[in-house]
Chains A and B, each alone.
Chain A
C-alpha cells in the first residue's frame, strides 16, 4: 500500500483542513463534493466546511436521496450526478470570436487568460479511471483538445478511496475500484470508528503529493491504521451487489447490433440524455454559432451534446439514427464495445451514475447481460 519511500501519514480532520488550506495557498481552486439542491454535487469549495459532513446517499435505479449519517464522515457517500468532466471538459467553451471588418472579418486571438488550477478533492477511484479515459480521448489521439490539455495540466488530485458502496455501484467488476493505486497526487482513506472523529490515511501518488504531505505533517500510520484502510476497501467491495460481466462483452455487443433487445429498451428509454450528461467519460460536443443583432460580432461555442438527440446524427435530408432503439444502441455499444476499438479500453468505469439518474431506471449492467444472450455467434 503506497510507496514506502513516500510518507503515509494519518491526518485528523484538522490535518485534512490544513492540507486543503495548503493547496489554496499554493494557488489551487478547490473543487469537491458539497450538498446542493438535495444532492452531493461537485463544485468549487472553500475548505473542509463545505464538504458533506455526516451526509449519506441512497442510490438505486432511478433513485437518489440524501440522509443523515450517525457519524461525522466527510466522504460517507459515493458519486453524485456531477463528474469531474464538468471542470476538465466544461459544458460550454467559447471556441472563438470573430469581428467583421469591411468585407472580411478578424478572428480574435486566443484567450490569453491562464487556465484555472484546480485541486480535485474527493475524486473516487471510478472518477480517476474516467479521467484517464478522457485523457486518452482528448490527449492520446492524433489531435489534441487544447482546452482540455490546458486545464488538465493544472490539476492536483486528492482522491478518496471508497469505504462504502451503493446499490448502483459496480466498479469492482469494471476493474476500477473501490481502491485505486494510481491517478492521484494524494489519496485518502477515511477511517471511521465509533464515537471518534474520522481520521484520514493519506498516501502520496506523486512527488508533489509527497511534498504536500510532508508539509502538512500528521502522525505516522500504524499497522492497525493500514489494516483499517484495507478493511474499508473490503467493506466497499463486499457491499457491491451489482456486476458487469466484462469478459467477451466487447465482442458480444459487436455481434448484437440486430438484437430485438434494443426495441425492448426503447420502449422504456425516454431519450432524455441524462445518462450521457452524468456519464464521466461521455465526451460528445456540438458547436453553436451566435451573432449580435448587427451581425458584426460572431462567436462559436462548444457545448456538451448527446447521441440521444435526433439532431446528433443529422445530415442534410435527415437524421441517421431516427429510432430511440438506434440511439440507445449507439450509446451502449460505444461505451462497452467500440470504445475498445477506438481507445483500447472500455468506456465504462462502473460508477453507476447512468443507472441512478435514469428516470426510468434502465440498468446498463442488466441490458449488457441481456444483450449478451441475444448475440449472434461469431
Chain B
C-alpha cells in the first residue's frame, strides 16, 4: 500500500496540520472503492471509519417501511462522510450507498480514536475539523427543515 500522506496533505480538511500529526492520520488511511449501488455502511452497524470522497457520489439514506430508502443528503468529491466513529456508541445512524462508482480514502476511526486518547493534540485538531463538518451539516439540515420551497418561493407571488 502506497503512502497516502501526500494526498491527505492536499485536502482542505487537513490544512494546517503538522506533518508529524498528519503522518499519524495517514497511518490509519486506506484506499477504498464502491461500485454503483454498493452499500458503504448500514444503520446500526459499528461505525469504524470516515471517508474522504475522491470521486463519485454517495447517498446517505434513512429507510422508511412505506417509502423505502429516503435520501437525506448526497456527498461527492471533496466531501467528508461520517462522524459516528467519533461519538459513542460508535454506530451508524443512517445507511449509505454509492450512487456511482465511487473512490474514497477510508480512515480507520477505531485506530484514530485510540491515537486521540493518547495524543490530545491530535484529538483536538481532529475534533476542531469535525466540529466544522458537523456544523455545516447542521446548517444544511436546518435549511432543509424549513422546507423553504413549499411556501411560495421568492418570486413575486
Contacts and interface: CB of A to CB of B under 8 A. Distances in A.
The reply to whether A and B meet directly (CB within 8 Å) is: yes
Interface of A: 315-317
Contacts of A316: 151-152, 157
6 contacts: A315-B157, A316-B151, A316-B152, A316-B157, A317-B151, A317-B152
Interface string B89-112: 000000000000000000000000
A316 B150 CA distance: 12
Nearest to A317: B151
A289 to B, nearest CB: 15
- Tell me the interface secondary structure of chain A in the complex: loop
A315 B157 CA distance: 7
Contacts of B157: 315-316
Nearest to A316: B152
A317 B157 CA distance: 10
Interface in B111-157: 151-152, 157
A317 B151 CA distance: 7
A36 B13 CA distance: 78
Contacts of A317: 151-152
A315 B151 CA distance: 11
Contacts of A315: 157
A317 B149 CA distance: 12
B119 to A, nearest CB: 47
Contacts of B152: 316-317
Contacts of B151: 316-317
A246 B157 CA distance: 39
Nearest to A315: B157
Nearest to B152: A316
A230 to B, nearest CB: 56
Closest A-B pairs by Cβ, 6 of them: A316-B152, A317-B151, A316-B157, A317-B152, A315-B157, A316-B151
Nearest to B154: A315
Nearest to A318: B151
A315 B156 CA distance: 8
A50 to B, nearest CB: 48
A315 B152 CA distance: 9
Interface string B31-56: 00000000000000000000000000
A58 B57 CA distance: 78
B153 to A, nearest CB: 10
A13 to B, nearest CB: 58
A227 B152 CA distance: 67
Nearest to B157: A316
A315 B154 CA distance: 10
A317 to B, nearest CB: 5
A15 B157 CA distance: 59
A63 B74 CA distance: 66
A290 B152 CA distance: 25
A316 B152 CA distance: 7
A317 B152 CA distance: 7
B26 to A, nearest CB: 51
Nearest to B151: A317
A154 to B, nearest CB: 37
Nearest to B156: A315
